[in-house]
Structure 1
Amino acid sequence: MKNNLIKVIRFVPKWKILGYILLSFFLAMGTVVILFPVVWYLEDESRFFESLFIVLSYFHLFVVFIFYGMVMCLYLLLFYLYERKQYLVFHLKKITENVQQLAGGKQFSGTISETEEFQSLARGIEQIMIRAEQAIEDVKKAEQTKSELITNVAHDLRSPLTSIIGYLDLINEDRYRDEVELRYYIQVIHDKTASLHGLINDIFDYTYVQNQQVILKQDQIDIEEMINQLVVQTRIQVEEANMELRQLSLAEEAIIHGDGSKLARVFENLFQNAIRYGEEGTLIDVSISDTEKAVKVAITNYGQVIPSFDIPHIFERFYRVEKSRSRFTGGSGLGLAIAKGIIDLHKGTIEVESANGRTTFTVVLLKER
């Protein structure tokens, strides 16, 4: 009640408050002047002005002042209730304007209402407005993401397609010297086609992992065994890069439940990154450890470190630390985004640390989800 009184007083202009006080003063005076003689006149059956004289003569002045104060407070209360109503109407109109403003597509900022009567309503409307604004922002981001996705995909598709068409034109027009050159053209076309196939698979996988409603398989997976198989599969590639892959396992039971094919894709991407960007360091270290609740896999290469300003963006789609966007110096830019999406679907975490000549990707998967 006290807070409401203060808010209404602050709401009403100062000149109006002074006017109400003066008006209450004179109204109360008139009421006392009229009421006391009338009451006394009715009791003594005398004339009105005689009653007024009797009142001033017989009533104690203190009693008159008390009555006068009560009457003045009554008038002030009536004025307060009137202004209180105006105050509430003002804030109700303000709420309506804010809602209409939101309906018109304008952004909302600030607080709708501070009045106790409308606080519950205001909080509900504010939540609706905040969610609506967030939805609008999400739609804008989705549109921007779609536009960027189309642009990036078009860029990555156009380059190999141009090469394929160019070499096919050379073959179709018999513009090659001998069979050796023809085979070279065919090999280039094959490589470009394989690159396109990989990019298209990456796009499908990225789209898949962005759908948070997908249902993953819940197979029992031995992460240590999976890593061992991937090490064998990539050993030739590691040797061709003149690198050495070292393994260390401290896990007692590296068993989790999840989608084996999807998790294999994660570690394949991490191995390919380690080979591609860690060639200068010649070594790749893979360590496996576990606790009662989780299994941790760390893959470390000793090549060029990732700049600190690139670290926060490393798992974004189409983001490359190497900015030339060359297909020969980097992948599609979707590999790490796909890896993070798959790990997120498994309720795990994937992090990267890069400093002091080493880069480590750490994957943590819960044994039970």
Structure 2
Amino acid sequence: MNPNPLFGLRFKLLLLVALSLGFAAGTAALLYVLATRYDIEILNAMVWWFYERFGRSVTLSVAILSLFIVYLIVFSHGTIRYLLRITQGVGEIAEGRFDSRIPVRTSDELGVLADRINRMSEQLNRSIEEERRTERAKTELVTNVSHDLRTPLTSIVGYLGLIEQDRYRDEVELRHYTGIAYDKALRLQGLINDLFEYTRTSGGLPLRLSPLNLVEMLGQLAVQFRLQFDHAGVEGVTVFAEKELIVSADGDKLVRVFENLIDNAIRYGKDGGRIEIKARREGMEAVAEIVNYGEPLPASAIPQLFDRFYRLEQSRSRHTGGSGLGLAIAKNIVELHGGEIAATSGESGTTFRVRLPLAR
């Protein structure tokens, strides 16, 4: 908001002074006429009393000055009240009441001041809320990490304890215990790697950008996942509307995104028997989609899919779900590339859609 130069505070002050001075002179003239032409004893006596002691010029000057001050106070009453309201609002904000707002009543400098104070208050309020969310997120992160690290670590310690105490019947049982401990250790390693990757991407990971053909990269990934497709009993299909979609990207990081999405589609959508890897151009964007035809996701789950540690399994089972960080990492990487990632799910399939700006 910018002050109106035609009705700025300086103009208003000059107008108030001019009006007050004009009304004071007019009122003084009116009183003089009443005293000299009409027989008003009290008024006439007061005027002549001042004339005899101070003279006509001094009496007239004092009368005009006194009336000027009175009119100035009367005419500036609204501005003074508004200035006091702004002062009160600043005091409320200083006391921590950041939801307090000052009404913007004018378009002059006082109105601009009120508007900017309101904006400052809103910004402070947003900053405090963001700090609170960050603090809650840190607490949640520590809680989730503690839970997810403790589960496999407890199993590892337990089975290694049995081995340390020679509490196994034979070599077969020993290998069974070591196998379980090894599997839990791999899960623990995977969680730590995912957690490390998430913290790196959340902190604004520097990217090594270079021109990359998204179609070629997705085609290579389809070939690499052929064995996983066969093992899961699904058909992997590529549908590319373009031969080239050149984006400026960090290839290693972007591969991580689509590896995660394809792995997610295999894990949760293999019952559909088909996974499609698509790419097309939309305006100045490259759009890639990973589609599976498994059981649709609940509508309530869609907004939370990219939250860290979110898993559809309420039991947080490690056997059916991952670390809960994969999609959060994918979202961070895509946003670092200036793109967007979203998901939709229904009877026509579950689609994870990635939009990336095309290289100029």
Q: What is the TM-score with the length of structure 2 in the denominator?
A: 0.79
Q: Deviations over 1:232-284 (max 9, x none)?
A: 33222222222221222221212221100110010011011101110211211
97, 101, 106: which one aligns with 2:92: 101
| Greater alpha carbon shift after TM alignment, 198-207 vs 139-148 | 198-207
| Greater alpha carbon shift after TM alignment, 352-361 vs 236-245 | 236-245
User: Is residue 202 of structure 2 the alignment partner of residue 201 of structure 1?
Assistant: no
Whether contact under 8 Å (1:283, 1:302) holds in the other structure is: yes
225, 234, 245: which one aligns with 2:236: 245
Q: State the distance in 1 between where 2:102 and 2:192 align.
A: 48
Counterparts in 2 of 1:225-304, with a 5 A limit? 225-290=216-281, 293-304=284-295
**SS across alignment from 1:278:** helix
Q: State the distance in 1 between where 2:303 and 2:37 align.
A: 83
Q: Using a 3 Å threshold, how does the CA distance of structure 1 residues 167 and 31 change in structure 2: closer, same or farther?
A: farther
Quote how far apart the aligned CAs of 1:117 are.
4.5
**SS across alignment from 2:76:** helix
**SS across alignment from 2:225:** helix
Q: Deviations over 1:187-230 (max 9, x none)?
A: 11111111111111211222222224x43111222222222332
Q: State the distance in 1 between where 2:102 and 2:96 align.
A: 18
Q: What is the TM-score with the length of structure 1 in the denominator?
A: 0.77
Quote how far apart the aligned CAs of 1:361 are.
0.9
Q: Using a 3 Å threshold, how does the CA distance of structure 1 residues 200 and 83 change in structure 2: closer, same or farther?
A: farther
Answer with 1 or 2: which has the greater Rg. 1
Quote how far apart the aligned CAs of 1:134 are.
0.8
Partner AA of 2:131 in structure 1: V
Quote how far apart the aligned CAs of 1:144 are.
0.7
Q: Which residue of 2 aligns with 1:124?
A: 116
**SS across alignment from 1:144:** helix
Q: Deviations over 1:311-367 (max 9, x none)?
A: 122212122223221111211111111111111111112221101151011112222
Whether contact under 8 Å (1:167, 1:189) holds in the other structure is: yes
Whether contact under 8 Å (1:311, 1:352) holds in the other structure is: yes
Q: Which residue of 2 aligns with 1:144?
A: 136
Q: Using a 3 Å threshold, how does the CA distance of structure 1 residues 30 and 289 change in structure 2: closer, same or farther?
A: closer
Whether contact under 8 Å (2:305, 2:311) holds in the other structure is: yes
Q: Which residue of 2 aligns with 1:305?
A: 296
| Greater alpha carbon shift after TM alignment, 236-245 vs 169-178 | 236-245
Q: State the distance in 2 between where 1:35 and 1:263 align.
A: 97
Q: Which blocks of at least 5 consecutive residues in structure 2 are unaligned?
A: 1-5, 10-26, 46-62
154, 166, 169: which one aligns with 1:177: 169
Partner AA of 1:93 in structure 2: L
| Greater alpha carbon shift after TM alignment, 287-296 vs 349-358 | 287-296
333, 336, 340: which one aligns with 1:345: 336
Identity among equivalent pairs (%):
42
Partner AA of 2:116 in structure 1: G
Q: Which blocks of at least 5 consecutive residues in structure 1 are unaligned?
A: 5-25, 39-47, 50-70
Q: State the distance in 1 between where 2:79 and 2:70 align.
A: 14
Partner AA of 2:115 in structure 1: R
Aligned-residue Cα RMSD (Å) equals 2.8
Partner AA of 2:79 in structure 1: L
Quote how far apart the aligned CAs of 1:179 are.
1.4
Q: Using a 3 Å threshold, how does the CA distance of structure 1 residues 229 and 190 change in structure 2: closer, same or farther?
A: farther
Quote how far apart the aligned CAs of 1:86 are.
3.7
